[in-house]
Amino acid sequence: MTMTYLIKAENLSYKINEKKLFQNISFEVNSNSAIHITGSNGSGKTTLLRIILGISKPTRGTVETNLTSGMCYLGHKNALKQYLTVEDNLILQSIQHNKALDTLLKDIDLYDKLDVVVSNLSFGQQKKIALLKVFLNESELLVLDEPCVGLDGKAQNFLTSFLQEELAKNKSIIFSSHINLNLDAKSINLDN
């Protein structure tokens, strides 16, 4: 009897201009597990995540997915429209205005910023808005590329405990981060 995986990456290699970025990376993501991708700047963390998402193609190797409810991705770029208010941005991300959202907004101290244009928010506040999508997601796999860049201590703790809860709910997480997130995760290092 084989265990079912959500994502199975086998022997992934990636070359840019004939230069190897990483080689022979294999792993499996099962439900209720977290993978922490580490590595120095430019070691290929973002690239690997994009391969998993199916945006980029690996030079060699395969990624098999076995998902029923899709993935939720947050990358370096936060996909917010700077010229729209927070509220409009939430609409764009199909986030309904409901109780859950309200309590979340209060938790991350953004309840009074709903009608502020995103470009007027601080760096960390923008990141928090982008994370709302993650906090309210309904997919079984979260793919997070350095999710706590620019967050203050309180928000980082909030994120960690959220991720812990998600794991407890049988969800899976792949994330990259230079900061340790206090999460029980298998780590994959891309430096060679």
Partner 1 sequence: MNILYFELLKLRKKSRGWLGPILVFILIMTAFPLTVEFLNEDLEQAFFSILWIAVLLVMMLATEDIFLEDYNDGSLEQLVIHTESLSFVIGVKILIYWALIGIPVSLIGSIYCLGITSSFEMALLIFPVLLISSYIFLNLFCFGNSLTLTKGSVLGTLITMPLLLPLLVVLGKVVIAINLGLNYFDFLILLLGVLSIIIVIIPLIISFVIRAHLE
Partner 2 sequence: MIKKFIHQFASPKTYLKQVDRAYSYIFFTSLSIYLIAIFWGLFLTPEDFVQGHSYRIIYLHVPASFISQSLYLGMAFASAIFLIWKVKLSAYLVRSIAPIGAMTTFIALVSGSIWGIPTWGTWWAWDARIISTLILFIMYLGLISLHDSFTNNEKADKFLAILVLVGSVNIPIIKMSVEWWSTLHQSASITITQKPAIDPSMLYPLFASAIGFTGLVVCLVILSSKFHILDRERNKSWVKDYV
Ligand X SMILES: Nc1ncnc2c1ncn2[C@@H]1O[C@H](COP(=O)(O)OP(=O)(O)OP(=O)(O)O)[C@@H](O)[C@H]1O
Residues 6+ apart with CB under 8 A from 57: 51
Nearest distance from residue 47's CB to Mg ion, in Å?
A: 8
In the chain the first and final C-alpha atoms are separated, in Å, by 35
Nearest distance from residue 73's CB to its own copies, in Å?
A: 15
Q: Which is nearer to partner 2, 4 or 120 (CB)?
A: 120
- Which one of the spans 53-61, 67-75, 99-107, 122-130 is the region binding ligand X (CB under 6 A)? 122-130
Helix H or strand E encompassing 126: helix 123-135
- 153 contact choice in its own copies, partner 1, partner 2, none (CB below 5 to 8 Å, kind-dependent): its own copies
- Which one of the spans 24-32, 93-101, 115-123, 158-166 is the region binding ligand X (CB under 6 A)? 115-123
Q: Is 174 helix (H, G, I), strand (E, B) or coil?
A: strand
Nearest residue to Mg ion, scored by beta-carbon proximity = 46
Tell me the C-alpha distance between 84 and 68, whole Å. 32
The residue count for the chain: 192
Q: Which of 39, 51, 130, 185 binds its own copies (CB under 8 A)?
A: 39
Inter-residue contact 35 to 187 (CB < 8 Å) = yes
Tell me the C-alpha distance between 174 and 143, whole Å. 5
Tell me the C-alpha distance between 140 and 6, whole Å. 9
Q: Which of 5, 8, 10, 21 binds ligand X (CB under 6 A)?
A: 21
**Which residue is listed with tokens 């770029």?**
77
Residues 99-128 that bind its own copies (CB under 8 A): 109, 113, 121-125, 127-128
Structural tokens at position 155: 């928000």
Residues 133-162 that bind partner 1 (CB under 8 A): none
Alpha-carbon distance values, 146 to 28, 56, 75, 76, 157 (Å): 20, 18, 7, 7, 14
Q: Does 82 bind partner 1 (CB under 8 A)?
A: yes
Site for its own copies, rule CB under 8 A: 39-42, 45-46, 76, 109, 113, 121-125, 127-128, 146, 149-156, 178-179
Site for ligand X, rule CB under 6 A: 16-17, 21, 39, 41-47, 113, 116, 120-125, 150
